[in-house]
Structure 1
């Protein structure tokens, strides 16, 4: 009987440890150098093409793409602080430097402008401060 209880307990622990935290996004790509990607069109274009469904996706771009809509809708609620900072940096860059890509992203992931306008307004506030 003790053996069965031990096996069951081990199984519960193993499943709990193996299961990713569904309340947060993976941290697997947190060390990607966002600045390097943003300042280099050769690196930036594959990411934007992937997210816009006009190009192939590298694993990290595919992961990013799978969360774009949800992160936009819930203000990056499942992001850790490092991810939130990277998102702010990317959105600021897109709005200021790659407006055509920003417009396409909004058209694809937020056609009613329910969520994206908040980011534009936030950026305007930061400029005024």
Structure 2
């Protein structure tokens, strides 16, 4: 009986460890967003709680604090790739927007080291 209980806990642990965010933004076209200033501003306003959100961006916004806190542990490889590309480009081309997003989601700077590791090539 103890073996079955231990085995059950092990199976639950494996399932939880494999839990990933659903297919949020997996088919997202990063280049299209970066090339469209109006769309980028609309997404930024949503993320910063300054404007309305589309359903898809709202999903990302809702998961962003957890993703930051867990170093994107539940992100798929594609989600990580998209996040890195977006973060690098916004940081490079729109530093004022980047700083505003960082200040909004990490006002105490507690995720800075983790985020710098995440952005490494």
Same fold at TM > 0.5? yes
Structure 2 runs not aligned, ≥5 long: 1-17
Match of 2:112 in 1: 116
Residues 95 and 120, structure 1, Cα contact 8 Å, conserved in 2: no
> TM-score by structure 2 length?
0.76
Computing the radius of gyration over CA atoms, which structure comes out larger, 1 or 2? Answer: 1
Q: Does 2:58 align with 1:85?
A: no
Q: Deviation of residue 90 (structure 1)? A: 1.1
Q: Deviation of residue 121 (structure 1)? A: 5.9
Residues 24 and 79, structure 2, Cα contact 8 Å, conserved in 1: no
Question: Quick one: higher RCO (CA 8 Å, sep 6+), 1 or 2?
Answer: 2
Q: CA RMSD in A?
A: 2.0
Q: Does 2:41 align with 1:36?
A: no
Question: Across the two proteins, how many residue pairs are aligned to each other?
Answer: 104
Structure 1 runs not aligned, ≥5 long: 1-21
Residues 72 and 116, structure 1, Cα contact 8 Å, conserved in 2: no
